[in-house]
């Protein structure tokens, strides 16, 4: 149910190491669920940067004169993200979305823990609000290398039952990693589900901790993408199905949110030899 629209830049502002880009996106906002992403065309009509860039949807506002707006949080990585943060008010941007499978919300009012690494906190805001509306307890853990690379701690504090911060260098919160504090926070609330977004090694560790406590984990992965719509197979990773068989699933259409205990984290980037349809002897 994705649509392609030409949005307009409404605002772009700094937030620590990141930029928050607000865009009009009529037709996209009303379809958006927490965990969805958009792809943006880069460089304008004459651009040589042919691949669209994938970015998580941070917030949406459905009403108002603009007929739907969305926010994304951008960490400048290379030429594409630099082009995005150089936009000015009223510049046009080509948007496709909402894309991917969003987070699955629990049917009952259970305790949840949300874990965000760096700009990985961006999709957790809408999620936290919707979990609270369902009566769920929402404990949030945010982590980053430094204070500058945390996003949205103040805003998340308003909606979370508790907020715990970790930084690698100890510049804010507890020194260390999100996974250092996760076990105790899960145990204190008897958490049934952990929702996570951040770098792959963090997601791997988060899902192992959740599984060790008989909890579900829902992880939004950031696998490199090209088409973003299920055609090119750039974004595949090995995932074990309910039948116990490993398949290479596309993170743009079957993800980006996966059950953490189903992803073969140690084999990401490879085609394990026991994958359905794998070449004999495995592949890379």
Q: Which residues bind ligand FES (CB under 6 A)?
A: 225-228, 230-235, 250, 252
Among 32, 181, 206, 222, binds ligand FAD (CB under 6 A): 222
Angle at 203 between CA 247 and CA 174, to 5 degrees: 175
The verdict on 173 binding ligand FAD (CB under 6 A) reads no
Angle at 51 between CA 48 and CA 53, to 5 degrees: 120
Residue 192 and residue 111 in contact, taking contact as beta carbons nearer than 8 Å = yes
Q: Which is nearer to ligand FAD, 110 or 122 (CB)?
A: 122
Closest by alpha carbon to 188, among 137, 153, 261?
137
Region 197-216 residues binding ligand FAD, contact defined as CB under 6 A: none
Closest by alpha carbon to 94, among 12, 39, 54, 33?
39
Q: Which is nearer to ligand FES, 202 or 252 (CB)?
A: 252
What's the sign of the alpha-carbon dihedral 90, 93, 99, 103? Answer: negative
Q: Which is nearer to ligand FES, 145 or 232 (CB)?
A: 232
Listed ranges 129-137, 158-166, 223-231, 272-280: which one lies at the site for ligand FAD (CB under 6 A)? 223-231
Q: Which is nearer to ligand FAD, 110 or 220 (CB)?
A: 220
Angle at 177 between CA 183 and CA 265, to 5 degrees: 75
Listed ranges 26-34, 87-95, 221-229, 271-279: which one lies at the site for ligand FAD (CB under 6 A)? 221-229
Closest by alpha carbon to 259, among 221, 233, 224, 228?
221
Tell me the C-alpha to C-alpha distance, in Å, between residue 127 and each of 95, 163, 197.
Answer: 22, 15, 11
Q: Which is nearer to ligand FES, 88 or 284 (CB)?
A: 284
84: left (phi over 0), alpha (psi -120 to 50) or beta: alpha
Q: State in angstroms the smallest separation of the CB of 39 from ligand FES.
A: 9
Region 249-268 residues binding ligand FAD, contact defined as CB under 6 A: 256
Q: Which is nearer to ligand FAD, 229 or 278 (CB)?
A: 229
The verdict on 37 binding ligand FAD (CB under 6 A) reads yes
The verdict on 92 binding ligand FAD (CB under 6 A) reads no
Q: Coil, strand, or helix at residue 129?
A: helix
Write out the residues near ligand FAD by the rule CB under 6 A.
Answer: 37, 51, 53-56, 72-75, 77-81, 119, 122, 222-225, 256
């Amino acid at each position: 149910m994705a649509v392609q629209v030409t949005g307009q830049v409404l605002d772009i502002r700094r937030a620590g190491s990141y930029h928050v880009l607000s865009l009009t996106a009529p037709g996209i906002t009303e379809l958006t669920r927490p965990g969805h992403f958009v792809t943006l065309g880069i460089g304008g009509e004459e651009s040589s940067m042919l691949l669209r860039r994938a970015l998580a949807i941070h917030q949406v506002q459905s009403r108002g004169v603009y007929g739907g707006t969305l926010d994304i949080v951008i960490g400048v990585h290379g030429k594409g993200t630099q082009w995005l943060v150089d936009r000015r008010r009223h510049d046009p941007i080509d948007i496709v979305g909402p894309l991917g499978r969003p987070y699955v919300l629990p049917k009952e009012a259970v305790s949840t823990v949300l874990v965000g690494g760096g700009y990985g906190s961006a999709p957790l805001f809408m999620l936290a609000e919707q979990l609270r509306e369902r009566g769920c307890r929402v404990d949030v853990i945010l982590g980053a290398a430094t204070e500058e690379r945390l996003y949205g701690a103040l805003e998340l504090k308003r909606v979370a039952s508790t907020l715990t911060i970790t930084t690698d260098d100890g510049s804010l919160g507890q020194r260390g990693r999100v996974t250092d504090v996760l076990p105790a926070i899960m145990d204190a609330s008897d958490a049934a589900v952990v929702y996570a977004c951040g770098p792959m090694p963090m997601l791997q560790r988060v899902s192992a901790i959740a599984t060790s406590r008989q909890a579900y984990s829902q992880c939004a992965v950031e696998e490199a993408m090209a088409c973003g719509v299920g055609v090119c197979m750039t974004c595949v990773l090995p995932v074990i199905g309910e039948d116990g068989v490993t398949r290479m699933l596309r993170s743009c259409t079957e993800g980006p949110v996966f059950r953490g205990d189903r992803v073969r984290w140690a084999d990401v980037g490879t085609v394990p030899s026991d994958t359905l349809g794998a070449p004999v002897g495995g592949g890379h």
